[in-house]
Amino acid sequence: MLRSLVLLIASVLALAACTPPNDVGTGDPGQKIYRIRGNSDKVQFRMLDSVNALRSASNLQQVQLNAQLNAAAATHAKDMAAQNRPWHFGSDGSSPLDRAARAGYPGTFLGEAIAETYETELETLAAWMDEPGTRSIILDPTARDLGFSWHQERGGKIWWALEMGG
- Residue 55 predicted with pLDDT over 50: yes
Nearest by Cα to 98 from 84, 112, 85, 86: 112
Q: Is residue 70 part of a domain?
A: yes
Give tens-digit pLDDT for 66-77.
Answer: 999 999 999 999
- Give the residue ranges of DSSP H helices in 33-138: 40-57, 67-83, 96-102, 121-130, 132-138
Residue 24 lies in a domain: no
Tell me: the pLDDT tens digits for 23-35?
Answer: 334 444 445 667 6
Residue 31 in any domain: the answer is: no
* Mean pLDDT for the stretch of residues 98-116: 97
Q: Domain for residue 49, yes or no?
A: no
- Domain region containing 92: 62-165
What does the pLDDT average to over 98-105? 97
Judge whether 37 lies within some domain.
no
* Cβ-contact 156, 28 below 8 angstroms: no
Q: How many domains does the chain have?
A: 1
Let me know: does 93 contact 142? Beta carbons within 8 Å. Answer: no
pLDDT of residue 37: 65
Note whether residue 51 is domain-resident: no
Say if strands 158-165 and 109-117 run parallel, antiparallel, or are unpaired.
Answer: antiparallel
Tell me the pTM: 0.78
**Residue 116, domain CATH:** 3.40.33.10
Q: What is the mean pLDDT of the chain?
A: 83
